[in-house]
Amino acid sequence: MKVKGVDVTILFAFSILLITGSTACAESIVYEGDIEEGQAYQLNNYVIDFTDIFPEANTVSYYVYEEEEEITNGLMDVNESAEFDFEEEGKVQMRVKSVHSGSPPSATIEITMSNYSTEDLFVNKVIEEGRSGATYSGDPDLVITKTVDKSEIKVGENITVTVKARNAGNDTANNVSFTDPKQEHFVLEETIFETSSEIPEINYGESVPETLVYMYKLKATDAGTFELKAVNASYINSAGKVYQSSSNIPLINVSEGNKQVAKVEATMSISVSSLERNQETTSIIVLKNTGNAPAEAVRFDIFIPEGLEYAGGEGIENVGGNPRIYLETLQTNNDKEFTYNLKGKEVGTYNISSRLSYEYSDGINQEKIKEKNESAGFTVSVKEGKFDFILKNPLYIIIPLIILAAIGFHLYRRHREYRY
């Protein structure tokens, strides 16, 4: 779409440029008011020193310093402006609005800034004593070191963590607060030293010793290679500017070692896997702990499908027709054997499944470890019994067969009698 031969897209892009350009170049008034002769105005580490005010000439003389270094000076008439560069990209402009007689004389001064966010000003004030009353701030720089006494340990072993801080900057770090995030794969074993929630100040200089922040012991709970999280610090300089620092990140290798574990294995076997209907078979269950920790609350459930029937067993509960074995404790390198009977009820092929659950203490974590697994045990086939055919045939067939069998048996006996 075009409007009077001008592409709307071009107009839109041009308007965006105008908006962003005007925003970047926007001026902000940081001060407008009277300043007496000999007073100064400070913006961060820059000081404008108004040394002389001449009411009869309507002029004001000034000197601009960055800390102790003079960067410019001059003489301004009423409604005249002067500017200087501020920090990296900012600009500061001064304008004399009026000059007043008095003892001492004074002038109404307007100070504006551009290309700089006034929210970043940590000093913005009149200095009544003049430049001699200015206080300059440097940049504190906290170097935080996080060290460990060992970088290779086994599960269940401890490391001692020490956190120290020193100020490598050129200004005091004030209101210093530290945070040390909780570390996964480790548990806090002992706190040896912990600084207060906030340190009022940490001075700078080569002769200033390091500040101890934390010292504690961690116990490893898992095997693997882990990074200890960085300690973070927040602080301000003497002018109130906020700074952040973070420590290094130590690397710890943890191997399997002293961690205890219970390993319960269950095996099921059956004496006869092919049954006639109403015939019984015997199943043997062995529970064995091959781990190095006792297993507790050991429960083994056997699920009997329809078509089979649980026919009793020693030391086994009957829960809704399903056998259940429960042991309060199964010690290490120990096994328990159980026997129960199954009866075939209906013709078919059936799978016997089971569920094993237990818990144990690994010697490291306070909470017990819970284990659970399900498995298929064995298959049982049930076929017809010897006399099942009787149940399948009607009476008019069965009764003659019984009579014939009786007659045949009688004749056989008589034959035996006459023979002798």
Cα separation, 202 vs 234, whole angstroms: 12
Q: What residue ranges do the domains of the chain occupy?
A: 27-133, 142-255, 264-383
Cα separation, 176 vs 155, whole angstroms: 35
Cα separation, 184 vs 200, whole angstroms: 31
pLDDT reported for residue 416? 64
- How many other C-beta atoms lie within 10 A of the C-beta of residue 63? 16
Determine whether 223 is exposed, middle or buried from the number of CB atoms within 10 Å of its CB (0-12, 13-18, 19+): middle
pLDDT reported for residue 23? 42
pLDDT reported for residue 18? 41
Cα separation, 39 vs 220, whole angstroms: 63
pLDDT reported for residue 200? 94
Cα separation, 104 vs 383, whole angstroms: 122
Name 332's Cβ contacts closer than 8 Å, sequence gap at least 6. Answer: 262, 289, 291, 292, 293, 294
* 201-212 exposure pattern, b = at least 16 Cβ within 10 A, e = fewer: ebebeeeeeebe
The architecture of the domain spanning 27-133 is: Sandwich (2.60)
- How many other C-beta atoms lie within 10 A of the C-beta of residue 354? 20
pLDDT reported for residue 412? 67
pLDDT reported for residue 221? 87
Question: Does residue 146 contact residue 137 with C-beta atoms inside 8 Å?
Answer: no
φ, ψ at 383 (rounded to 5°) = -120, 175
Cα separation, 84 vs 74, whole angstroms: 11
pLDDT reported for residue 11? 46
pLDDT reported for residue 367? 85
Question: Does residue 118 contact residue 29 with C-beta atoms inside 8 Å?
Answer: no
pLDDT reported for residue 196? 78
pLDDT reported for residue 318? 92
For 227-268, the pLDDT digits (tens) are 999 999 999 998 788 999 999 999 999 998 767 899 999 999
φ, ψ at 191 (rounded to 5°) = -100, 115
Superfamily of domain 264-383: Immunoglobulins (2.60.40.10)
Q: Which CATH number fits domain 142-255: 2.60.40.740, 1.20.1250.20, 1.10.3330.10, 3.40.228.10?
A: 2.60.40.740
pLDDT reported for residue 17? 41
pLDDT reported for residue 127? 96
Identical topology for domains 27-133 and 142-255: no
pLDDT reported for residue 393? 56
pLDDT reported for residue 40? 97
Cis peptide before 104 (omega within 30 of 0): yes
Question: Does residue 86 contact residue 92 with C-beta atoms inside 8 Å?
Answer: yes
Which stretches of the chain drop beneath a pLDDT of 50? 1-6, 8-24
φ, ψ at 411 (rounded to 5°) = -65, -40
For 86-138, the pLDDT digits (tens) are 998 999 999 999 999 999 999 999 999 999 999 888 889 999 999 999 988 88
